[in-house]
Structure formats: structure tokens, C-alpha cells
Structure 1
């Protein structure tokens, strides 16, 4: 453990005020807590958030994570749909299973689902195609594709452009948590691929609260000697934002739990430490990381 002596200067440890749960995740967690406080036996359809520490906290309160493929075996009477959103088939499955649904779909995602559905219905009349820039298999993308009866094309890299018919009118949407830069690159690549004169329109549907974190974190990471990025082991958003910090500040460490922190990370002794996290990182966990760092540095 790094010990402080009387000659050692104090260390500034600050938590990024714009990190942590986005609005949609925060709302979903509050809905889950409220439902359990009523005494309801609650199951989340999939992990409510990509953070094991938060999942364990909610599990201790009584919430279980369940799979749609095992819907018939769900024992809980109430099922929560997480912020990512669900396709229409999930609502049908819960209705058939006789479950009460607490719909915690983020309002931004819910609006996007409606826009995708409306655009797809119009494109069917025009013989066009709907493209979603997003991560294949991601829960939000599954929900969006479900609005199109499974007909939407999902592209994540330029290698996926082979899926697109060059001669068809095309409308492009984006998963809400993708990057602005990535959407701009994909939009340009699709435009260059289509036959000249073919109608093409892009809906810039990235959530501003999430998208704006990239430029913010670039500034934040540059202002500290060491950055501790707190994120779940399986958080794709966390890995992306961590990379943003690491490119600016090579002395950036990815932390999923308090046990990941070791004294080598604090050698040489820093003067300024920044703590930040993903959209799925709870505030309480970032605070625990900051507290442990204070103890390790002899500040508490």
C-alpha cells in the first residue's frame, strides 16, 4: 500500500460529474426499486444494466435476471423491460405468459422505435430499405429490428455494406449509444455506395447525453495524472469510453470492482486523480473507488 508521509503533498481526487448512469438507465433502476418496495416479485428480462456490481445490489433486493427464451419458466409475476427496449414479440410473450410488464424502455429509445416503425412502413410502399447503424445482437438493436418485422439491415463496420442494395431508396438510423463520428463515417460510406440519384436520408438518432460524453471525457482525462475508469466487464459503452480516455491519458486504468485497484497504479504518486465511468456505472461505485484511493494514499 502507498503510504503518505508528512512531506508528501495531498492528492486531489475528483469524480467526473457527467459520468455514471444516463437518464434511461437511472429511470429503469428507480422503476425496479419502486416495484420491489411494493413487495412485488420482480424479474428483469436480461441484465438491467451492464454492471455486475449494480446487478448484485439489485439481486440482494430481490430482483432476478431472466431470459426471454425461458419465458414460460419465469416464476415472478412482474417482468421489467430494461432501458434498451424490446421488440413487439417480447410484449406478446409476456402477455401469453400472463405476466405484468413494467416497461422501463428509455423514452429516447421508445421514440426511436416509433420512428423506425413509421419509416419502415413507408419504405415498404416505396420498395426501399431501412438500415440501422449499430451493434449486431445488442439489445437495443434487437428491439429496433423488431419494429420492422426483422427486415432492417444492421451495419456496424464498412464490411457490412455488402448487405445494402445499391439501387434501393435508403433510410439510415443509428443505435442511440453509437458515436457521432462513427455515424458520420457510415453515412458517407453508404452515400458513396448507392447508385447516383437514389434517395438517401439519415436520421441522427444518437442520444445527445451519451454522444456528448466523448468530447467531454477527452477534456476530463487530460486534466489528471491518473484516470480510473469504472465500468462493467461486459459494458461495450464502457470499453469505448475507456479507449477515449486512454488515448488522451495513457495512465488510464479500467476498474470493474474495488479489487481491481492495486498500489502499482499509484506509483509514481499522482497529484491529481480523476474517476469517471460508463453510462452503466452507478454513482455509488465511483464513490467507493474514490474512497479506496484516499485510504491507499493515506488521505483518509
Structure 2
């Protein structure tokens, strides 16, 4: 049995940066709160919680004062910063630079088109932390679309500016872009005049799609390791499944089923941008020491 871990899988820069900042802050011995799960991977969240990281939600943040709170890579809307200022909370800002740049672009676009009755549309997952931060730049006026069923929320007789959550599928974004152009034409408009689209998907994320397609074809079985909350994980697992029917999604080694693997299989282990390398190594060790071997 041959087992290979995809060398391109594992943390993206933004997630790695946030976790390192959390560990550095906790090393000082001061209490550290984190606004939401620091990463969409329960195994990593549990590891950091054991070191003292306290996960809180936005309601709990309102009750805090005179403490340190970490903002994770997904970023936050402006009201979070104002609340911290009001409550004398020191923010450890681990927002991903790519996300921060996108927030600034969305705000600039909104400020530019709001007076012209234009619409900011964000292709992303409803309720996702990054999307909440992006819509916050528009006073929550941005329209969020996840699929074709959401297009009816857009007024195609008015100007549209489209952005994407940084971790969405490139293929999905361009499908939405094409559908919006079709709707504008159907409404009697001209896309060149009333539609501006911005591919704001992180290239560190989007470049993993072609890499994973190649990796999935080279093995008999794909074991994809990711947190169930990870939007990026769901998208990348879908890529693996398209290329290799014997692709399986697991959160940890305990979810691996014996029927998936044969002793003669070539096995590939990969994961999302929120999957730690130590967890993929743990999955590899489990398979190596199991009866399949």
C-alpha cells in the first residue's frame, strides 16, 4: 500500500498567520478570546482550546471589556471594531490581508455606486464570517447570492457590481457572472454599461483546484480531510469527487470506513486550506497501522 499526502494541501497563508498570532499571544500567559472558531476545523479548535484559547460569539463580545480578542482570518465588519473601542477591548487583528484588501474594494465600490442606485452583489455563502465582514462594508446593503435561485433578489434594471467570497469556486463565480449578464440582457439592459464583475477569489485557493484534479487522478482512493463547516473544504472535495469516484470526506481518522480501502490501493490524502498538516499526518498513520496495511 502506498500513501501520499498532497504537498499543496494544508493551511493557506491567512489561516497559518492567524494561528501563529494566537499561539504567540497565548505564550505571554494573558487570557485570549477569539471571535468565532479560529479555523473551520474542530480538531484544530480543540487543540488551541486546550492551550487556553477561549472561543466567543458576538453576543458574548458585547459583555467583555478590558481584555484581548483575536479577529480571525475571515475578517470582521466595522461595527466589531467600534464595539471594541467602546469597551476598551484590545483587538489582535489576524484578518487575512487578501480579505482586508477585498473589504476595502467592496467599500470603495459601494461608496461609488450607492448614490447611483447601484447594487453590490457578493457570490458567497450566506452567514459565512467573511461574507458578514464584506456586507458590513456596505451597511449590510449588499446582496448575497449562493446559487441561481438567489438571482431573483437582484434588480437587473439597475447597475450591478459583483464580487466573490475569497474561498469560493472559480467555476461557480464565472457561472454566476454569465447568468447575471443573461438576466441583464433579458431586462433590456447592456452588461458592458451596467455590470462590473471582480474575480476576488484568492489565487492560493483557486490554484488548488487544478492541482487537486491532477492529484485525484493519480491515486486509487482519495481521503479528503476537512472540517464540516469549511466552505473551501466542500468546494475542494467536490473537485476530488469529480475526478475520482472513490473520494471520501472525513473530519478525522475515526470516520474512515474499512470498506473504502483495499490493501493494494494507492491512497492520496489531501485537505482544505483550513486543514492542518498534523491532522493529515495523523490520518496517514492511522491507515498505515490499520488492518488494511
Q: TM-score, normalised by structure 1?
A: 0.92
Of residues 28-37 and 165-174 in structure 1, the stretch that sits farther from structure 2 once superposed is 165-174
Q: Could you say which residue in structure 2 is the equivalent of 1:201?
A: 196
Q: Kindly provide the CA deviation profile for residues 118-161 of structure 1, in whole angstroms up to 9, marking residues without a partner as x.
A: 01000023221111111111110100000011111111111111
Q: Could you say which residue in structure 1 is the equivalent of 2:269?
A: 275
Distance 2:172 2:256 in 1: 32
Shift of 1:47: 0.4
Number of positions where the alignment pairs a residue of Structure 1 with one of Structure 2: 288
1:161 aligns with 2:151: yes
**SS in structure 1 at match of 2:179:** helix
Distance 1:188 1:84 in 2: 27
**SS in structure 2 at match of 1:273:** strand
1:294 aligns with 2:292: no
Q: Kindly provide the CA deviation profile for residues 209-247 of structure 1, in whole angstroms up to 9, marking residues without a partner as x.
A: 111212211111111111111111222221222222122
**SS in structure 2 at match of 1:287:** helix
Q: Could you say which residue in structure 1 is the equivalent of 2:137?
A: 147
Residues 66 and 74 of structure 1 are in contact (CA less than 8 Å); yes or no, is this contact kept in structure 2? no
Larger Rg: 1
Alignment of 1:56-67 (within 5 A): 56-67=46-57
**SS in structure 1 at match of 2:163:** strand
CA RMSD of aligned residues (A): 1.5
1:135 aligns with 2:128: no
Distance 1:246 1:157 in 2: 20
Residues 84 and 90 of structure 2 are in contact (CA less than 8 Å); yes or no, is this contact kept in structure 1? yes
**SS in structure 2 at match of 1:281:** coil
Shift of 1:75: 7.3
Distance 1:103 1:193 in 2: 40
In structure 2, the CA distance between the partners of 1:105 and 1:280, relative to structure 1 (3 Å rule), is: same
Unaligned runs of 5+ in 2: none
Residues 221 and 244 of structure 2 are in contact (CA less than 8 Å); yes or no, is this contact kept in structure 1? yes
1:264 aligns with 2:254: no
Q: Could you say which residue in structure 2 is the equivalent of 1:122?
A: 112
Q: TM-score, normalised by structure 2?
A: 0.94
**SS in structure 2 at match of 1:247:** helix
1:107 aligns with 2:102: no
Shift of 1:104: 0.6
Shift of 1:297: 5.2
**1:247 counterpart (233, 242, 266):** 242
Shift of 1:73: 3.1
Unaligned runs of 5+ in 1: 1-10
